[in-house]
Amino acid sequence: MSPRQIVTTTQFKKDLKRVNRRDKLRYNERSKKFATRKIMTTTADDVWQLLAELVTAQKETERRFQETDRKIQEVSKQIGALGGKWGRFVEKMVAPACETLFFNRGIPVHQVSQRVKKRLDGKTLEIDVLVTNEDHVLVVEVKSSLGVDDVKELSDDLSKFRQFFPEYNEKQVYGAVAGIEIEEGADKYAYRQGLFVLVQSGENVAILNDAEFQPKVW
């Protein structure tokens, strides 16, 4: 092989390496561009998917809010109905019946007052029905649905009654609970606490306590 051929061959190898290196760089650059484009495409797809999920979640949240509002309105209507039912029960049945019911139990009735309220030291004591005569005071708590907790609440009010109403300190104070509906065990619990128990009986009001019952003096 002549020197010229050796130089040519050597140069060819160098040129070939240079070409290979250049092609490799171009390939790497193209690969990077392709990868970048792929990442950008994937990211865009993810963003659109996320936006779609957010829109769906927002619609579901709005639907739940609407459902909650509807339920709140229904409950408000029910509460209003119960309030009206309670008011009619007090005004039309319990208060008028007290005069006859307690007279038959040996407690004459001179006056029946509804929703009597007294304030003392920033606190308030409200009585649904207050029955009085010369010697007795009868505090009546009226509930749409009477439970044991309501009986306990009245007992607590009765323990404070003379503080709020000192004008009745010389009289015997009795307590009574009345309910359109009586939860299980509430009537027996009230009986054991020395309270009269009044219930709706058809178009009238009746006392559940038997003839042997002795009311507690508070």
51-88 confidence digits (pLDDT tens): 778 778 777 887 777 777 666 666 545 544 444 555 56
14 within domain boundaries: no
**Inside any domain, residue 83:** no
CATH label of the domain that carries residue 99:
3.40.1350
Contact 174, 217 (CB under 8 A): yes
In contact, 195 and 175? CB cutoff 8 Å: yes
d(CA 151, CA 116): 19
SS3 109: coil
Query: Would 76 be classed as within a structural domain?
Result: no
d(CA 105, CA 183): 25
Question: Does residue 79 form part of some domain?
Answer: no
| pTM tops 0.85 | no
Domain span including residue 142: 90-207
Mean pLDDT, rounded, of the chain: 79
What pLDDT, on the 0 to 100 scale, is given for residue 55? 79
Q: Is residue 69 part of a domain?
A: no
**Residues 117-149: pLDDT tens digits?**
999 999 999 999 999 999 999 999 998 889 999
Domain total of the chain: 1
pLDDT of residue 10: 56
Q: Is 7 contained in some domain?
A: no
Residue 97 falls inside a structural domain: yes
Residue 162 lies in a domain: yes
